[in-house]
Structures are given as structure tokens and as C-alpha cells.
Amino acid sequence: MLLGHPWELWFALVVVVLMVYGLAKNLAADMITMGCLALVMAVSPFSKGKLLPSIEQAVAGFGNSALLTVAVLFVVVAGLVRTGAMTMLTNPIIGQPKSTMAAQVRLLFPVMGLSTFLNNTPCVAMFMPVVDDICKKYKLSASKLYLPLVYASVFGGCCSLIGTSTNIVVDGLIKKAIEAGKLKNVRPLEMFDIAWVGLPAAVIGIVFVIIASKWLLPDRKPAISLSDDPRQYTVEMIVQPDGPMVGQTIEDAGLRHLPALFLIEIERGEKILPAVSPNERLQENDRLIFVGIVESVVDLQKIRGLQPATNQVFKLNDPRTQRCLIEAVVSDRCPIVGKTIRDGQFRRRYEAAVLAVARSGERINAKIGDIVLKSGDTLLLEAHQSFESRMRNHSDFFLVSSVQNSTPPRHEKAWIAILILIVMIMANLAEWFDIMTAATIAAGLMILTKCCTAREARDSLEIDVLVSIGASFGIGKALETSGAAQFLADQLTGAAEAFGGGKLAVLAAVYLATMILTELITNNAAAVLVFPIAIAAANKLGVNPMPFIISIMVASSAGYATPTGYQCNLMVMGPGGYRFSDYLRMGIPLDLLYMLVTVGLCPLIWPF
């Protein structure tokens, strides 16, 4: 015993300090959390009082429903992205933001609204590729959007009983306490009871995020610009007859803001339209000539309503779901050097269709089939995924490499993916299934209907994120079993009472204790730990316990200041390029703002 407390309590606190230090030093989140979990597992056998989690308890987080939900949601999102359904759903909402603030306004309010009726995690998972697309297309900093996305989902989750799993857990605790006679003159919560506090806090929170993110969030952009790539391809696309592009202006079709890709002219029958105006309306069978880099060509291929100008892609034997884009540099030993692509019968010879040719940065003024190949030309091909392995050591090419995430989208399955998403949401809202079951079924349907392939489903899993979340559950368990979490909660609420704090001071202490535990362990565990303390404090003071209960519900979800405060925080750490200090700088003021609003409003709505 150290100072009246078992050594396991202090050991658990030291492990948390080590984890926070490692994250603050910007070590890889999955490595530091797994390292700390390994330390807990190594010391656990020496705990005679069994105050540290067993090996089974420590690794149980990797089977936690929250982590598995995140994993299967990655697959659901893969189906939405691979079919272009996500773009169909979000483009009307997001539009074409011209600034970071405009993007935040268009993104945060819809996310908050959706998160009110759907768990936070799927909202974040679904909108992550949308944020990535916005940042690339409009050259915005990802670090200005990913954390606000998470915050908006949490704001919405605090506005209804089903918004987060924590709200449901607390409602269950209320019902048990009522049955046990510990709560009198209190009824179970209805759907929007928490919205009396959650909605004003959410609106204030979004306004704060939009204003303060300009100064409190970093403006990190890639060190190398997309436009620095010296390989400039000339790509031809055709406006699909009866497709969604027909009748749209260049501006409305989103063809003006593709990063490092420029629409240089339109061929319309015998007529050439150079220096295309953004107000020019597209017509069916227009041939659009673009010049740009390979990453942007991949984005171009995914736009619904455009198709490659060469008909060779439709003559390949392999289904498009098994194809990808491949770059290949023509060698001087290639037998069709000096011939046109058509005369050299490139497709028949290599089972690949040439989409574009890059030649030392110069524009090639010829249709794809009429281009005479030279040694050193870089070809952008559409071919079966095995092309890279088959041709890597072939003498006809100097270099062969596949382009990441370049499988042509399955636009014809977009409505299937959307229907699966709607059924998943409705099944959760109607309480037919919990979110994990609904998401697992949806992920399976995405694969069965070929909205995404099994390989794409596996590739969509963010292993580092899943490892970080699973390990953080184990560390949180160590805080819980060692008594460290209870110790922190007791110290805070006890201090408020010992110093003669009134009802409001004790309420603030309950909120603060829940908030700190949420940042250190899981939100559900924080709520479960503090709930009996809060009820005991309310009964001791002889006041209405509802302000305390609502404060716990809000505080146990509103963990903004650490990557481990909420699983969604960890999900965006890598894509947003965040450091631990970024969470503190933006999250601490937001934590305190939410505390101020909640503690101020609760006694007004539910008087003591």
C-alpha cells in the first residue's frame, strides 16, 4: 500500500502518463498504445489482489463492439465510395465551398443532424472520404476539417437518447436505480429530453469550432504539391449520353476544381472549343481533353457521367471490378515503338487499354489510337490487377507500377449501396438491430452485391486505427480495475464538498470528474463509474438528481481534448495529420465551454 492506496492504482496512473507523453511526442498512436498495453499485461501476473486486468481482460478491447463496429463500417464506406454513391449523396449538401469556413459550415450542420439519429462512429466513417475529396479538390487543409467533423458528430450525439451508446447506457442505469428505490420522483428519459441542453450546446459548439479553428487548429498541407509531378498526361473523356453531366455547366459539373488537372478544350463534332468557359454547358458525346497528373486522372475516372474516350476499355475481357490503372514506361526494346497504338494492336498484345500518354511534359495533339509511341513514354493503362506482376520484369517496359485506389467505380451499383445504407440506418433507428449488427449485415451485403470486392473490403480496414482503439480499451480497463478511475472521481467530488461548495460546485465537480475519466478511459466506463457518485451526492444534498444525470450524459460523450477521449478522435488522427498538442489546444477550450453551458443550463431546466 502506498499512501493508503494499492501500488496497482499508482502503476495504472503511471502507464496513462507514459501513454500521454508518447502521444505528446507524436509517436505512432498504435505503437504507443500497444506498448503501454503490453506493459500492463507484463505486470498483471504480479498483482496479488487481482487489481490489474488479466490477460483476457486486457485484450478484450479488440473484441469490443465499438471497435468491431468501426471495422465493419470501413467496409460499408468502401462500398459507398467504390460505387460513387457517397459522391451522389454528399455533393448536393457540400456543393463547391470556396473557403475553409464555407466547407465547415456546409459539412458540420448536416453531420450534426445525422448524428442526432445515428451513432457518431458511422457518421464520421461515412464522411471521412468526403472530407478527403473536399481537401484535394478545393486545396483546403485536412487538419481544418477532420477534427471539426468529429466534434460535430459528438454535438449531434448529445441531442437525443439514441445519439450515442453512452446515452443509452445512462438511461439503463436510471431505470435500474428507479427499480432499486435509489431515485425517487425521477422518470426514465424520453427521446429528446437531453436536447434541452444538447441542442444549445451543439449550436454554441459549432459556432466556436468555426471561429476558433482558424487559430487553434494547424494549417498542415502536404510538403509536396500535386502540381509538382512532372508527368503530365493528356486524357480524353466523353460525356455519357443520357448521363447526369448532360446539360450541366463546367462549373456545376465540378470540372473546374480538380487538383492539378485542367480542361483545355472540348471537341463537339467538328467544332473545337478552346479556353472553355465555366458557364459552357455540356452536351452528350462531347469529347473533353484534360491535361494533368495521374492522381487527378484517377479522380476524373470516378466522376459519374464521364467515360474514357477510347472504346478499347470496353473490349477487355476482364470485368472492370478486377481492373486498375497502371503506369508503364515504354522501353527501347518494345516491338511497337515507332508505331501508333492502334497499328501496334496494343490491347490485343498486352490485354490492356491505353488511357493516356505522358511524354516529357509536352502535350500530345492526337487521339489515343493515333499516338506514335516513343521509348521513354509513360503510358497510363487500364488492365487486370495481375498486369503489374506479369509485366514487371518484361523487356518491353522499363517500369511498371499500379496506381493506388484506381479500380473504376461501379456507378451502376450506386443505388444498391445507397439502399443498403438506408436499410442499415432504419434498422438501427427502429431498434431492430444494434448498430454493430446492422453495420455487419450492411458490410456483408456490400460484398455480396459486389458494391465492393472482398479484397477492397480488406484493404479498407485502417489497421493502425483499430489497434489504437483496441489497446486504449485495455489501458482504460487497468484504470478501472486498479481503482485509479474511482480515486480520481472521488477526489474531485470530495474536494467540492470539503471546501464548502454549494450545489452548483458539486454539479461542476461531477461533470469535471466524468469529463476527465472520458479523456482517459472509455466514455461508457466513465458514465458507469461516476453515476453512483453523482446520485449519492444529489441525495446527500437533498436536491433533484436530474441535473447530475444529464451532466454525466453530456460529459461522458464530450471528450474533445485527447486522441483517446473518443474512438472517433483516433480515427481522424492520421488522415488529419494531427499531433497530441492539436487535440489539447482545440479540445480543452471546447471541453470547458461545454462544461460551462451544461452546468449553467441543467439547473435552469431541471431546478434543484
DSSP string over 279-297 = TPBP-TT-EEEEEE-HHHH
pLDDT band at 361 (very low <50, low <70, confident <90, very high): low
Range of the domain at 120: 66-165+194-221+414-465
Is residue 127 included in any domain, yes or no?
Answer: yes
**Span 528-545, average pLDDT:** 81
Tell me the CATH number at 338: 3.30.70.1450
Task: Give the contacts of 536 (CB within 8 A, at least 6 positions apart).
Answer: none
Comparing 110 with 360, which gets the higher pLDDT? Answer: 110
The percent of residues in the chain predicted with pLDDT above 70, rounded, is 95
pLDDT for the residue 588: 94
Q: Which region holds residue 269: left if phi is over 0, alpha if psi is between -120 and 50, else beta?
A: left
Tell me if 81 is assigned to some domain: yes
Q: Has residue 476 been placed in a domain? A: no
71 & 144 share domain = yes
- The H or E element spanning position 266 is strand 261-268
pLDDT band at 554 (very low <50, low <70, confident <90, very high): very high
Residue 348 — very low, low, confident or very high, per pLDDT cuts 50/70/90? Answer: confident
Coil/strand/helix, residue 601: helix
Instruction: Say how far apart CA 555 and CA 557 lie, in whole Å.
Output: 5
Task: State whether 83 and 215 are in the same domain.
Answer: yes
pLDDT higher for 422 or 294?
Answer: 422
- The chain-wide mean pLDDT, for the chain, equals 83
573 and 143 in contact (C-beta within 8 Å)? no
What is residue 224's predicted lDDT score, i.e. its pLDDT? 44
Q: Tell me, yes or no, whether 100 lies in a domain.
A: yes
pTM: 0.76
Whether pLDDT at 590 is above 90: yes
pLDDT score at 221:
67
- Please indicate, yes or no, if residue 353 is contained in any of the structural domains: yes
- For residues 381 and 456, membership in a common domain is answered with no
Lowest-confidence pick of 202-206, 224-228, 240-244: 224-228
Query: How far, in Å, CA of 131 to CA of 146, rounded?
Result: 7
420 and 339, same structural domain?
A: no
The neighbouring-strand residues paired with 399 are 329
Closest CA to 521 of 119, 36, 115: 36
CA pair distance 134, 141, nearest whole angstrom: 9
Q: What average pLDDT does the segment 198-216 reach?
A: 94
Q: Do 91 and 146 reside in the same domain of the chain?
A: yes
Contacts of 145 (CB under 8 A, 6+ apart): 100, 103, 104, 107, 131, 134, 135, 576
Who wins on pLDDT, 572 or 2?
Answer: 572
In this structure, the answer to whether residues 347 and 433 fall within a common structural domain is no
Checking if the pLDDT of 17 tops 60, the result is yes
201 plus 328 within the same structural domain: no
Check whether residue 92 and residue 150 sit in a common domain: yes
Higher local confidence (pLDDT), 445 or 317: 445
Q: For position 499, what pLDDT does the model report?
A: 65
Residue of higher predicted confidence among 104 and 518: 104
Beta-sheet strands, E only, within 370-479: 378-384, 397-402
Tell me: do 107 and 207 sit in the same domain: yes
Does residue 364 belong to any structural domain of this protein? Answer: yes
Q: For 220-237, what is the mean pLDDT?
A: 64
Evaluate if residue 223 carries a pLDDT over 60: no
Residue that finishes a domain, picked among 446, 465, 484 = 465
Identify whether residues 437 and 333 lie together within a single domain: no
Cα Rg, the chain, nearest whole Å: 28
Q: Final residue of a domain: which of 357, 384, 403?
A: 403
Residues 429 and 364 in one domain: no
* The three grid cell numbers given for residue 313, joined into one nine-digit string: 476499355
Q: Are 229 and 149 in contact (CB under 8 A)?
A: no
Give the model confidence (pLDDT) of 424-453 as tens digits.
888 877 778 877 888 899 999 999 998 888
**Calpha distance 442→75 (Å, rounded):** 9
User: 439 and 379: one domain?
Assistant: no
pLDDT of residue 501: 63
Q: Kindly state whether residue 19 falls inside one of the protein's structural domains.
A: no
Is the pLDDT assigned to residue 180 strictly greater than 80? no
Task: Name the percent of the chain lying above pLDDT 90.
Answer: 16
Domain count, the chain: 2
Confidence of residue 230 (pLDDT cuts 50, 70, 90): low
Classify residue 313: in a domain, yes or no: no
Question: What DSSP letter does each residue of 534-595 carry, written as one string?
Answer: HHHHHHHHT--SHHHHHHHHHHTT---SSTTSSHHHHHTTTTTT--HHHHHHHHHHHHHHHH
Q: Which of 403, 429, 448 is the last residue of a domain?
A: 403
227 pLDDT exceeds 70? no
Residue 463 has what pLDDT?
A: 84
Q: What is the pLDDT of residue 4?
A: 61
Q: HSE, CB side, 13 Å, CA atoms: give it for residue 145.
A: 30
- Nearest-10 Cα torsion for 201, 206, 212, 217: 120
